[in-house]
Amino acid sequence: MGFPSEMDGCGQFVKYSMFAANFVIFVGGITVFGIGIWTLMDKSFINELLGTNLFMGAVYILIITGALVSLIAFFGCLGAIKEIKCMLLTYFIIILIIFVVMLVGGILGYVFKEKVRYTMEQEMYSSIKFYNEKRNIRRAWDDTQENLQCCGVTSYADWKGNIPDSCCREIEGKKIPCKNFQTQLNIYTDGCLNVTEIFVKDHASILGAAGISVSCLMLFGLAFAFILFKIIE
């Protein structure tokens, strides 16, 4: 279970390096998990308008793997300090699998970033026709327009005169229906396509960077686990 006498210095260095690497990985996993939950809770209102599940798929992947990474990193620290070979081997295999999955999640975030406008434009034009027929679509449009302060796909003209109240600005702290005005002064002028594209791209970049960064950190954990496994008797 211990190190050979001639390997004490090297072994101790690897052991504590692995402990330090896993502590950083643990913090990284918690960070990715937190970003994923924040995105899921605060930004999921636009999912119906995205035209693809790629974005939310990446979010779910990073939430699950972020939680698992944090848990496994904790056991990696324990395995390093206690010098338990079976725990180190288990840690290595699981971290290798999670590394691949998290890397895929991070890449998905960037892939979605590049194709977001086309898929979203198609879905927005398609779904706006069902605003009065499907409650989930109506809620998605209303939440998007109110949260991002936009209206229609490219402008309020996309509503063809039937402008929903979620397009209306607040006047003196009150939401007044747009139809009560002869002009459109109280209607959000920005279309939701451009606003949402910027919004989603920014968050996809954060998710992608977080996933790929933690994946790179895990390479250090894998390397130290492999070396430590080899030099433990």
The yes-or-no verdict on residue 4 having pLDDT over 60 is no
Phi and psi (nearest 5°) for 131? -55, -40
Cα–Cα–Cα angle for 212, 10, 91, rounded to 5 degrees: 40
CA distances to 21, 59, 73, 109 from 94, in Å: 16, 20, 10, 23
Sign of the dihedral through C-alpha 162, 166, 169, 172:
positive
- The encoded tokens of residue 138 equal 């109506």
pLDDT of residue 110: 66
Q: Which helix (H) or strand (E) holds 175?
A: strand 174-175
Distance CA 12, CA 8 (A): 6
- In 73-136, where do the E strands start and end? none
Block residue for tokens 């979605």: 112
| Residue pair 45/143 in contact by the 8 Å Cβ criterion | yes
User: Tens of pLDDT along 136-183?
Assistant: 888 889 888 888 888 888 888 888 878 888 888 776 666 666 665 545
The yes-or-no verdict on residue 25 having pLDDT over 60 is yes
- The encoded tokens of residue 205 equal 């970049």
pLDDT level of residue 2 (50, 70, 90 thresholds): very low
Mean residue pLDDT of the chain comes to 76
- Residue range 176-194: mean pLDDT, rounded: 70
Record the pTM.
0.62
| Residue pair 43/145 in contact by the 8 Å Cβ criterion | no
Map residue 74 onto helix, strand or coil: helix
- The encoded tokens of residue 180 equal 């009560």
| Residue pair 52/119 in contact by the 8 Å Cβ criterion | yes
